[in-house]
Amino acid sequence: MENFYLILVVVLFALAISDLIVGVSNDAVNFLNSAIGSKAAPKWVIFLMASLGVLIGATFSSGMMEVARKGIFHPEMFYFSEIMIIFMAVMITDIILLDMFNTFGMPTSTTVSIVFELLGAAVAVSVVKIKSAGDSVVLEIANYINSEKALAIITGILVSVIIAFTVGAIVQYIARLIFTFHYKRPMKYFGSIFGGLAITAITYFILIKGMKGSTYSSFELNNGFTVQEWLSANTGLVLLYSFGFWVIFIQLLRWIFNIKILKIVVLAGTFALAMAFAGNDLVNFIGVPLAGFESFKAWSASGATGADSFSMEMLAGKVGTPTYMLLIAGFIMIITLIMSKKAKSVIATSLDLSRQDEGSERFGSSYAARVIVRGTTNFNKKLVRVLPNAITNGIQSRFTPVRYEGDETDAPTFDKVRASVNLVVASILIAIGTSLKLPLSTTYVTFMVAMGTSLSDRAWDRESAVYRISGVFAVIGGWFLTAVIAFTVSGLVALIISVSGKFMIFVFVAIALFMVLRTHTMLKKRNSRKVLEEEDTIEDKDAFNEIISKSSKQLVKAIVSTNQIISMGIESFLKEDRNGIKIVEGACETFSKKAKKNKDKVFSIVQKLSESSVDNSHFYVQMMEQKREMAHAVHFMLSPMISHIENNHKPFIQEQNEELTHLATLIDNFYNYVLHTVKEEKFDELDNLIFERDKIFETLRQNEKNQIKRIKNKLVNTRNSQLFFKINSEMESLLLHTVNLVKSQRDFITFTRQTK
């Protein structure tokens, strides 16, 4: 039996390594987005500072390990075998959930996951134990679950969301009033003081507050005091010296090396936030396996005591965590941070919702967001009427953004003033939580601070506020979903293991391994598709030749997609092939999204093209409009066909089938000709193309006449006729837009090359 539990401990640590890799991929955004978004330094410098912060912060997390041992449940109420079931259920659930969330790009929090997984598994095992004893679950469950501590943790996580948003907004508003968007001049006079205050604040909350419970706090100094005692006794002196040192040091760096002060603050903040992250979040990844390892050692030392009768009261006491284990975990986190490909995708949501400039929005609007924006706008109008013009004009002048001087394609998402506030405020709040042994969610805190500073910076203007607020609601909704799923799945896993036997542990481990491999395969396929999709995506930095080449590739893909959707759609419809029509529906949706994405980038591309000629910009806009209209025509034609099949309506009669089959053949030949014209740029054959289109128009008109005859002869019903006419109508519209698309492409290429 001892070998069995030894295997479980090994499995726990294997899962912990996987959890570290998956978790860091998810949480890297928390301490990288501000530095990357503001482009404060080259990426290797940013990653170096973050890696140092992670490594040092890992050794500060020892005190947080108590959360995994006794923060959620009373360990003395469980036996060793039951504790191992709880820990295995938690780790299995955590690795599956985090991997799925990362793969699908869903926002989540490792802290919330681990807390609710522990809670769900502990409740499930407690219920089984109480029922086996014949007691009442309602009356006894409070003896097993540390409800007071669990409630404090959950409340702390929820309250931190409000506090982070509010504090971030207030601090950013004050900072912007002082430095404005034209911050270079004020930085000459107040920059070193601002930097000194920022780094001193970080020093106080991380070194002094965060020291409590770390591996360094009990080190004895020559005077007999421990590090923690000495820092507590000399807090004021440490802060005074720290402030003076950083003010002088930052000013010297500026004078001697001309290093920008805000860059120093952002990099120091990145280091601090990475350190706070490791100190607070490391427990999420290795706390449970370490608790399992300590439990195994205690049970093994007990001798002949059975696993089903050995009490886990030892977990309620103080158990130290070896420093070498924390350092190993820190190194794994650093390697993952540098090597992970998933970390890039996680950063996009936060940057999209906090960027200063306009662009395509990731989220749509919602009713709640519209109400909030409308109410805030009305309140602001009333406030402006009351306040004197001098005050409102003065405040407005402090919040007027500056145009980025340099290559627009290299413009930062937001400036370094906001990046500094993001990092300093978030690291301080997380360090406070760590010192209070509350596992705050770094995801929640950093995200909400970023949203608060965005609001104060007026990044959420009337053009984007509704979408940004809707995005925040969507992310917060994802957080609550994480909690519910984590609690439910972990509880179910623990319940099944408790009822079915411990062999189910290995079944669930196999399931977890299978799902991780499966999602990894899905991610590779998705990335491959993304590479193919982005090869024709026009970027702001592209030269004219690249724009021509990519626009041609877009047209080729649009023509091929249209032809395939029509051919397969008509064939599947006539055969009443539901699987085939579903595949076509997916292709149609992909085509529509791609067309919309291209159209949404029109503004930035036109800005690039306007440097040369208005005409070529006009033709580019026309191209994107025609392609979007083609996608609409295909959708409006396919949608009623799908509805017809799904509702099991009568199929078309033989005569109609023959007409549609012939039409599909003509369309296929036409689009092959279009493809040849666009690929080879044989625009002198456009008249022939129009002639072929007009021949298809004649076929469409003849089909309509035939349908009218069928109606008069009562061979078809109303629904049949509506669908047939709809197909004809949308097909005609599609062909018109296709020829117009080719014309626009011809004119765009011609004028662009002439201008160049």
Cα–Cα distance for residue pair 106/349, rounded to 1 Å:
10
Helix (H) or strand (E) holding 675: helix 654-680
User: Are residues 615 and 492 part of one domain?
Assistant: no
User: Are residues 540 and 514 part of one domain?
Assistant: no
Task: State the total domains in the chain.
Answer: 2
User: Are residues 520 and 540 part of one domain?
Assistant: no
Q: 603-642 pLDDT, tens per residue?
A: 767 766 655 555 667 788 888 888 889 999 999 999 999 9
Which residue among 530, 562, 583 closes a domain?
530
Q: Report, as an integer, the average pLDDT of 393-401.
A: 77
Binning pLDDT at 50, 70 and 90, where does residue 242 land?
A: confident
Q: Report, as an integer, the average pLDDT of 262-280.
A: 79
User: Are residues 221 and 89 part of one domain?
Assistant: yes
Cα–Cα distance for residue pair 146/71, rounded to 1 Å:
7
Cα–Cα distance for residue pair 235/215, rounded to 1 Å:
19
Binning pLDDT at 50, 70 and 90, where does residue 409 land?
A: very low
Cα–Cα distance for residue pair 205/195, rounded to 1 Å:
16
Max CA separation in the chain (angstroms) = 109
Cα–Cα distance for residue pair 93/512, rounded to 1 Å:
8
- Which 3 state secondary structure label does DSSP give 226? strand
User: Are residues 448 and 423 part of one domain?
Assistant: yes
CB 566, CB 667: distance < 8 Å:
yes
pLDDT at 489 over 60: yes
Q: Comparing 476 with 362, which gets the higher pLDDT?
A: 476
Give CA 364 to chain center in angstroms: 16
Q: 90-113 pLDDT, tens per residue?
A: 888 888 887 777 666 655 677 778
% of the chain with per-residue pLDDT over 70: 80
pLDDT of residue 21: 74
Q: 293-317 pLDDT, tens per residue?
A: 888 888 888 765 677 888 877 776 6
Q: 149-164 pLDDT, tens per residue?
A: 667 767 777 788 888 8
User: Are residues 559 and 512 part of one domain?
Assistant: no
Flag the least confident range among 342-356, 367-381, 476-490. Answer: 342-356
User: Are residues 730 and 675 part of one domain?
Assistant: yes
CATH code of residue 717: 1.20.58.220
Residue with tokens 């009568």: 650
Q: 125-157 pLDDT, tens per residue?
A: 999 888 888 888 788 888 888 777 667 767 777
Q: Report, as an integer, the average pLDDT of 181-203.
A: 81
User: Are residues 545 and 463 part of one domain?
Assistant: no
User: Are residues 503 and 580 part of one domain?
Assistant: no
pLDDT at 244 over 50: yes
pLDDT of residue 134: 81
Closest among 373, 375, 355, 357 to 365, alpha carbons compared: 373
User: Are residues 597 and 666 part of one domain?
Assistant: yes
Strand partners, 220: 226
Cα–Cα distance for residue pair 680/199, rounded to 1 Å:
61
pLDDT of residue 66: 56
Binning pLDDT at 50, 70 and 90, where does residue 738 land?
A: very high
Residue with tokens 């504090």: 167
Which residue among 508, 530, 552 closes a domain?
530
Q: Which domain holds residue 237?
A: 2-530
Encoding tokens for residue 685? 């054959």
pLDDT of residue 419: 83
User: Are residues 500 and 573 part of one domain?
Assistant: no
Which residue among 485, 503, 530 closes a domain?
530
User: Are residues 603 and 500 part of one domain?
Assistant: no
Cα–Cα distance for residue pair 482/120, rounded to 1 Å:
13
